[in-house]
Amino acid sequence: MSKPVVVLAMVPLLTADLFDQVLSARLDKLCDVPDGEPLTAFEDTRANHLLARAEILLTSWGCPRIDTRVLDRAPQLRAIVHAAGTVKGHVTDACWERGLFVSSAAAANAVPVAEYTLAAILFANKRIFALRRRYAEARSFRWWPGEFPGLGNYRKVIGIIGASHVGRRVSELLRPFDFDVQVYDPFFDDAGARALGVRRTELDELLRTSDIVSLHAPAVPETYHLLDRRRLALLRAGATLINTARGWLVDGEALTDELISGRIDAVIDTTEPEILPADSPLYDLPNVFLTPHVAGAMGTETQRMAALALDEIERFTHGKPFRYGIGRADLARLA
């Protein structure tokens, strides 16, 4: 069986992290890779030469948009395999109109996001962020449960917004703990909730009753500012909001007002804009733990996405459907 011609399209800086020696060897064994230097644009002479031969585009972050003009120069292209999460930035309607098969490694990217979220939940309920600051100030013994009423993880209510790859993975990771886990997702039914071992609930009820609320919904028109000023006000005093999804989901001004008041806490990995202005109070508020969009796959974690992508290419070369295939209709509810 001949090996498919695979062309890489991504930020070149990524390839060293994505493909270590073992994965690089597997890529070469599975595929004919005419040029190991990934494309960053589709308009130059080198791109024209590679696109003319490409049967599979192996993409990741930084891949240019694949529109009709690109496809016209890739007559043999049959599939796009994305070694990262969302495909919305580069896969266009033209790809499905052409009949291409599309796959994403979002399931692999979900793993480190869920791990980050689990750590955030455990630390937030234990009030670790506030305790660290208070201990540095006091530098002496205190009766910490007295200073932080409700401290601890036992029997806390965790609210998951979005039964996505990440939301489901977080729910699975929470199973060993003594938590009451409830999930809101308009596409989630009672059977799905039972299979996951969680309770299905409505959004406002989840916000009113959860000690921790963690966001895992996609950034689609229907979720823009899903947590607006009214809904943020439903959070119980002392609750913690965790956002590892997108800043798009939260009214940033309303959230900032709530956090300045000190009524709630937050662990925030994604904001809108992606990098906050230098004078944003979120950098300095004592009840905010702010990180620079690092929950998703980084460094060695990206190799999990590369391994999944190679699994998909292997399935494709053996005539099997993608395990993580994406259709045009899926975009309405995917990140």
- Measuring CA to CA, how many Å separate 182 from each of 28, 122, 195, 207? 45, 16, 13, 10
Q: Say if residues 7 and 56 touch (Cβ distance below 8 Å).
A: yes
Q: How far apart are CA 310 and CA 313, in angstroms?
A: 5
- Number of CB atoms found within 10 A of residue 293's CB: 15
Tokens representing 147 are 């200073």
Burial status of residue 251 (CB atoms within 10 A of its CB: 0-12, 13-18, 19 or more)? buried
Q: Say if residues 161 and 167 touch (Cβ distance below 8 Å).
A: yes
Residues 6+ apart with CB under 8 A from 227: 207, 215, 241, 249, 250, 251, 254, 255
Run of H or E including 214: strand 212-215
- Kindly list the catalytic residues: 246, 274, 293
Q: How far apart are CA 282 and CA 290, in angstroms?
A: 7
Q: Say if residues 216 and 242 touch (Cβ distance below 8 Å).
A: no
Run of H or E including 57: strand 56-59
Run of H or E including 23: helix 21-30
